């Protein structure tokens, strides 16, 4: 039998945490033959509720779940973890300035970075979900210099999956037949959902999405803002932000990262830019990636037309501004 993998979920008493921990304990994230030990962190005001989640995990009697650590102590939470899913953060409340929210999250991610650096297992993979996800991941990277930058990522898989969902509905095809949509940039409304390289498996072979939709007005008009603003549409409908889809996307992200992407398929991950596609190096930016052997690689050589170029640059600019804002909060 395999040794259990220790998976940390921060903000585990929150909405996404509540949807995510049972998925992990059922093998959705790491596979049906991989035992796990869950580490759950939240802050003291949520301690009682966190303990309730732990009680439910016991009650669910998950065969793969070999242990649960539920704590408000960040060192205890981070000790020995192989995978860290960072969902905890400070939400934007009514009337708060962007800078105030940034400042709260920068200080959370700065201190959690050091705890991970000092106490996590060597080669721990980190996924930041909490917003501003890209910039929180960047802060984590900067304040955990001994964690290799290839081990730090942020979640844009939800946006990627939303793009698959929209194409699936439009063309009345299964999502499993669609591949290679791309989310470029920030997990915010400036992200660029790109279908230029996406294809659909049809009885007549693989066809480009652009050919099958054959309505550029829909693709460039409605599709893009629908994906960009899907989070807001969910809040409007549910009066709460996306949780089950976010949790599911976090599992997809880690599963593909650890177990690999299928041949010929790429997915979107927020990763440290090396300057590919002329995206400024030093930003955490969502790129198309393939994964093998536990490592992601940015897909190279995709053509970028003028329309796409502008959109890639716009979201990069926003990320540079966020980075500056984050740094101004540090000083």
**Residue 246 is a binding residue for ligand NAI (CB under 6 A):** yes
Q: Which helix (H) or strand (E) holds 41?
A: strand 36-41
**Can 197 be counted among the known catalytic residues?**
no
> Whole-angstrom Cα distance, residue 81 to residue 121?
5
> Whole-angstrom Cα distance, residue 230 to residue 252?
19
Q: What is the DSSP string of 73-127?
A: -HHHHHTT-SEEEE---PPPPTT--HHHHHHHHHHHHHHHHHHHHHHSPTT-EEE
Q: Which helix (H) or strand (E) holds 237?
A: helix 230-238
**Residue 130 is a binding residue for ligand NAI (CB under 6 A):** yes
Q: Of these, 6, 7, 8, 11, which contacts ligand NAI (CB under 6 A)? A: 11
**Residue 38 is a binding residue for ligand NAI (CB under 6 A):** no
**Residue 228 is a binding residue for ligand NAI (CB under 6 A):** no
Candidates 289, 304, 313, 299; CA nearest to 157 is 289
> Whole-angstrom Cα distance, residue 136 to residue 190?
17
Query: Which of 243, 291 has the CB closer to ligand NAI?
Result: 243
Strand order in the sheet with 205-208: 178-179, 199-202, 205-208
> Whole-angstrom Cα distance, residue 175 to residue 163?
10
**Integer angstrom CA distances of residue 296 from 31, 176, 198, 272:** 19, 21, 19, 11
- The piece of 113-121, 126-134, 162-170, 271-279 that touches ligand NAI (CB under 6 A) is 126-134
Please state the closest distance from residue 251 (CB atom) to ligand NAI, in A: 13
**Residue 141 is a binding residue for ligand NAI (CB under 6 A):** no
301: its two tokens: 């050589």
**Residue 193 is a binding residue for ligand NAI (CB under 6 A):** no
Q: Of these, 27, 35, 89, 288, which contacts ligand NAI (CB under 6 A)? A: 89
**Residue 147 is a binding residue for ligand NAI (CB under 6 A):** no
- The piece of 215-223, 242-250, 254-262, 272-280 that touches ligand NAI (CB under 6 A) is 242-250
Query: Please, what is the angle between helix 47-60 and helix 15-25, to 10°?
Result: 30
**Residue 46 is a binding residue for ligand NAI (CB under 6 A):** yes
Q: Of these, 153, 180, 242, 268, which contacts ligand NAI (CB under 6 A)? A: 242
**Residue 43 is a binding residue for ligand NAI (CB under 6 A):** yes
- The piece of 24-32, 130-138, 197-205, 294-302 that touches ligand NAI (CB under 6 A) is 130-138
Q: Of these, 241, 265, 276, 308, which contacts ligand NAI (CB under 6 A)? A: 241
Q: Which of 119, 187, 197, 253 is catalytic?
A: 187
Q: How many residues does the chain have?
A: 331
**Residue 291 is a binding residue for ligand NAI (CB under 6 A):** no
Count of residues near ligand NAI by CB under 6 A: 28
Catalytic residues: 187
**Interface with ligand NAI (CB under 6 A):** 10-11, 13-17, 41-43, 46, 87-91, 108, 129-131, 133, 155, 158, 187, 241-243, 246
């Amino acid at each position: 039998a395999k040794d259990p993998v220790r998976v940390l979920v921060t903000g585990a008493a929150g909405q996404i945490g509540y949807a995510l921990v049972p998925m992990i304990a059922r093998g959705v994230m790491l596979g049906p033959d991989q035992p796990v030990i869950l580490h759950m962190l939240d802050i003291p005001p949520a301690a009682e509720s966190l303990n309730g989640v732990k009680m439910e995990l016991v009650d669910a009697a998950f065969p793969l779940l070999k242990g649960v650590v539920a704590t408000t102590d960040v060192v205890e939470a981070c000790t020995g973890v192989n995978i860290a899913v960072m969902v905890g953060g400070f939400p934007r409340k009514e009337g708060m300035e962007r800078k105030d929210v940034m400042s709260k999250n920068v200080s959370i991610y700065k201190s959690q970075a050091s705890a991970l650096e000092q106490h996590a297992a060597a080669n721990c993979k980190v996924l930041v979900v909490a917003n501003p996800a890209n910039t929180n991941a960047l802060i984590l990277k900067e304040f955990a210099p001994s964690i290799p930058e290839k081990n730090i990522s942020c979640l844009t898989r939800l946006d990627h999956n939303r793009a698959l969902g929209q194409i699936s509905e439009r063309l009345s095809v299964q999502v499993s037949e669609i591949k290679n949509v791309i989310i470029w940039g920030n997990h915010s409304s400036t992200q660029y959902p790109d279908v230029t390289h996406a294809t659909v498996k049809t009885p007549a072979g693989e066809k480009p999405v652009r050919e099958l939709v054959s309505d550029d007005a829909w693709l460039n008009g409605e599709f893009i803002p629908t994906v960009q603003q899907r989070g807001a549409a969910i809040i409007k409908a549910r009066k709460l932000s996306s949780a089950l889809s976010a949790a599911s996307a976090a599992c997809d992200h880690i599963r593909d990262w650890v177990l690999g992407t299928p041949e010929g398929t790429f997915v979107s991950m927020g990763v440290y830019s090396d300057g590919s596609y002329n995206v400024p190096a030093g930003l955490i930016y969502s790129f198309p990636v393939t994964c093998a052997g536990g490592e992601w690689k940015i897909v190279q050589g995709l053509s970028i037309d003028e329309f796409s170029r502008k959109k890639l640059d716009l979201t990069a600019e926003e990320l540079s501004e966020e980075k500056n804002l984050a740094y101004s909060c540090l000083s």
